[in-house]
Amino acid sequence: MTLTLFAVFALCILLGVPVVFGLGIASLSAIIYQGLPLLALPQRVIPAVSDNFSIVAIPLFILAGNIVGRGGMGDRMIKLANVFVGRSRGGLSSTNIVASMFFGGISGSATADTSAIGSILIPAMVKRGYDKSFATAVTVVSSPLGTIIPPSIIVIVYCWVTEVSVGAMFAAGYLPGLLIGVALIITGWIISVRRGYPVSDAVSVREAAKIVLDAVPGLMTVVIIIGGVVAGVFTATEAGSIAVVYGTFVSMFVHKELKLSDFPAILRDSVLLTGVVALILAFAGAFGWLIAFDRVPYAAAELLGGLSPAVFLPGYMILLLILGTFLAPTEALIIVTPILFPVALTLGMDPLHFGMVTITCLALGHISPPVGLCLFVGSAVSGLPVKDIVKALMPFYITSAVAVLLIAYIPVISTAIPRAFGF
């Protein structure tokens, strides 16, 4: 049955069928092949999205990300980042990356980061003499930091699949996100020095203080959400609700850039993206159940159980990177993690460490052709073809790969902060 399941799914992908429907068609085909009642499909599809309260956090964070994206927080994060790193050679590239770290921690969405930051900084960098391909590459490669630095939608999905604490995974994301961010800044700086890119204009102390104060309300979104979840004051779902309310208040009444007339478009975009995610989770629930029904996880555990983490890890990472070339990160996670998570636990891997390896590898899927969503958003914002962006991304691919290897083979990077908070 499993062979039928993956064969039909692969055929759907080759034929260009959207992945979400490929999961559903493959599941239905396997059910028919196995002779199971057709009612088994809705029996597995509906509970996948209705029986887990934490999933409600996903549409809430999507909505919150769209609100703050239209509410002027992106522009303020850019100015704040420029205060801290703008005076280095090629300062705008460092500003771009740091802004992505700030904004990603608010929106939790890589594509929202690419759109919000890119629409402002790509034209600004080109105007200051940067190559458009480099400016776009910096924007694209830093955007996945939004899926690593909490709050992150893919982290919530991982916790849904594995039943790991959302608060613990949120805490686990900070050091890996910081490590990758610093590595990208260094890479951008080296390229900027070699190409002679300019230094950003100096900012007076008074102006810097004003920029910092102006950005504080937006940064408090991160403090409230993450602090509350990690401290156990409220759940991730409740944090999503608070993010929506607080983001709306700040955008409308503090920054005064969000209007009531913006909400129809915000709600439409949020509903569309939520619908896509919900369908993926629903059909993935049936897909995963059929795999478990055929005892594939147990067979995988028996096959790989004797391996050491040093052997298991590189194979797992290569698998994720391959899947990331044609699947969205959420889709790849849902397909692979239920099978290999028990194997990782058998090998003695920490669930938080395994989670961050999974998420950081899949984050590269956002910038990997042919399906990297950030590539296409970056292309749309800059007007460059994807192939030109990919060429400019090559040094950053290497840097990101090295950082991910460090995260994979030094577990304390992922576990230090959660353990400090008692998880």
73: left (phi over 0), alpha (psi -120 to 50) or beta: alpha
What DSSP line would sit under 233-249, residue for residue? SS-HHHHHHHHHHHHHH
What is the overall mean pLDDT for the chain? 80
Percent of the chain with pLDDT over 90: 14
CB 41 within 8 A of CB 27: yes
Residue ranges of domains in the chain: 39-420
Q: Does 107 score more than 60 pLDDT?
A: no
Residue 143 three-state SS: coil
Q: What mean pLDDT comes out for the span 72-98?
A: 75
Range in 29-43, 54-68, 308-322, 353-367 the model is least confident about: 54-68
The reported pTM is: 0.74
Q: Does 185 score more than 70 pLDDT?
A: yes
pLDDT at 44: 74
User: Which tens digit of pLDDT belongs to each residue from 144-175?
Assistant: 887 788 777 788 889 888 888 888 898 899 89
* 31 or 226, greater pLDDT: 31
User: Which tens digit of pLDDT belongs to each residue from 365-407?
Assistant: 778 876 677 777 788 778 888 788 889 999 999 999 999 999 9
User: Which tens digit of pLDDT belongs to each residue from 277-311?
Assistant: 777 777 877 777 777 677 765 666 566 656 677 77
**CA 208 to chain centroid:** 30
Count of CA atoms in the C-beta half-sphere (13 A) of 26: 31
